[in-house]
Structure 1
Amino acid sequence: MRDTEPLTGEPLALDLVNTRPASAEGRTDLLDTPERLAAWLALEESRLGSETGGAVPTKADLAAVHAVRDHTETAVQALLHGQEPPAAALRALTQAQRAAPAVRELTWNGEAVTPAVRRTGPLGVRLAAVLAEAAADLLTDPALGRLKECEADDCVMLFLPAHPRRRWCSPARCGNRARVARYYQRHKQPASVARTGEAQ
């Protein structure tokens, strides 16, 4: 897995926060264009339901998603370090949910009444509401006490480990790098030993 590809599989709010991995130049934004946002939404489609509705995101939609991501990351980082999340971040997440509340739209399918969750408003407002709701679920989940940051030196990814010994955000990304580095360290000869061997 390349670092330019978003990690998925954590709670939706963490997947969103993890779209800003570290790179040699600093933090990289994997949602820096409407097109890349559309690709990420496709990856998360099973969890977003019908909120995208096949719509193509705009720059305004991207800005709304970025705002929720920033507030979520601020709150999560505070909790990760045992601090109180800033009230402004929590208020902003609540306001994002309020802007496009979920309504259970009732329909008849021929046999029974069925509910479908619907939100109204522009795509960015709907996405911000869904993602802020996911952040609220994460921030109030007792499992958040297990939250970890990847142990790789150059990684800032966050995850909720199912197993307490998990150390890496991804076995294919940082876990593999760490194994390769350990192998290299175990098998490389000190320079002085190599020179001695060449002289004989």
Structure 2
Amino acid sequence: MTANPPDPANPPFPLTGEPLALDLLNTRPAGTGDLIAGPEGLAAWLAVQEGRLAPVAKPGPAEVAAVHAVREAAGAALTAARRGERPPAGALRALNEASAGAPAHRELAWTPEAGLTAAPHRTGTPARRLAAELADAAAELLTDPRVRDVRQCEGADCVLLFLPAHPRRRWCVASTCGNRARVARYYARHKP
């Protein structure tokens, strides 16, 4: 049985807008499977991340494999970093290799509207560029002093991660997991 490809007009990503590395890790929510298992899912996720990553014309299997490798390494490293432990050497090696696969340099450009700009530019295949950007996002999160504040949603069966702006935040999305928890508490109190 094949899964239906995601509808780009209505992406199935339950939580976005967190640090980019967390958005990547949240592409595998519980009970839903891998939301970026194929090129269509990756394209939909990249569309949601527009402006945060360099555009990728049409992701294919190479981009999917590169993103999956970064996601696996970032997940393993984050699990350890959240506990204040040393991340697995293999995870760090994979992230470093992905980042080095398409190093960034600043490219100067002149436009009459903006004047002189210096934008990051990467060389290499689209898969290597995308993996390098995501590995750099993971490195940014892993070295952020707030990495130990990253939480997993307290919703039943929810595995999504978030970096709370408020210390009392408990759910990935209050209107989803939070409402489910409130409804469950209500029914538990009012059981006949």
TM-score (norm 2): 0.88
State the alpha-carbon separation in 2 of the partners of residues 160 and 60 from structure 1. 30
User: Structure 1 residue runs of 4+, over 4 Å off?
Assistant: none
Corresponding residue for residue 3 of structure 2: none
State which of 16, 19, 24 in structure 2 corresponds to 1:8: 16
Label 1:113 to 1:4 Cα distance change in 2 as closer, same or farther (>3 A): closer
Structure 2 matches for 1:86-165, cutoff 5 A? 86-110=88-112, 112-165=115-168
Following superposition, the deviation at residue 4 of structure 1 comes to: 4.1
Q: Give per-residue Cα distances to partners, 1:173-192, cap 9 Å, x unaligned.
A: 21121111112222221xxx
Q: Secondary structure at the match of 1:104?
A: strand
CA distance, structure 2, for counterparts of residue 108 and residue 89 of structure 1: 39
Deviation of 1:3 (Å):
10
Cα distance in structure 2, aligned partners of 1:112 and 1:174: 46
Task: Work out whether 1:43 is the aligned partner of 2:51.
Answer: no
The one-letter code sitting in structure 2 at the alignment partner of 1:78 is A
Q: How far 1:153 moved relative to its partner?
A: 2.8
Could you tell me which runs of 5 or more consecutive residues in structure 1 were left unpaired when the two chains were aligned.
190-200
Other-structure match for 1:192 = none
User: Percent identity among equivalent residues?
Assistant: 59
Cα distance in 1 for residues equivalent to 2:176 and 2:60: 30
Number of aligned positions between the proteins: 182
Which residue identity is paired with 2:63?
Answer: D
Q: Which has the higher helix share?
A: 1
Give the stretch that moved more between structures: 104-113 or 142-151: 104-113
Q: CA–CA distance in 2 between the matches of 1:112 and 1:97? A: 30
> What is the distance in 2 between the residues matched to 1:153 and 1:108?
52
User: Considering only aligned residues, what root-mean-square deviation do their CA atoms show, in Å?
Assistant: 1.8
User: d(CA) in 2 for partners of 1:73 and 1:159?
Assistant: 13
User: Per-residue deviation at 1:87?
Assistant: 1.2
Q: What is the deviation of 1:28?
A: 1.4
Residues of 1 paired with 2:109 and 2:82: CA distance?
43
Between stretches 175-184 and 65-74, larger displacement belongs to 175-184
Deviates more, 1:10-19 or 1:150-159: 150-159
The 2-side partners of 1:145 and 1:107 are apart by: 39
Query: In 2, Cα distance between the equivalents of 1:108 and 1:52?
Result: 20
Aligned to 2:59: 57
Asked if 1 retains the 8 angstrom alpha-carbon contact of 2:28 and 2:34, the reply is yes
Larger Rg: 1
Deviation at 1:112, TM superposition (A): 3.7
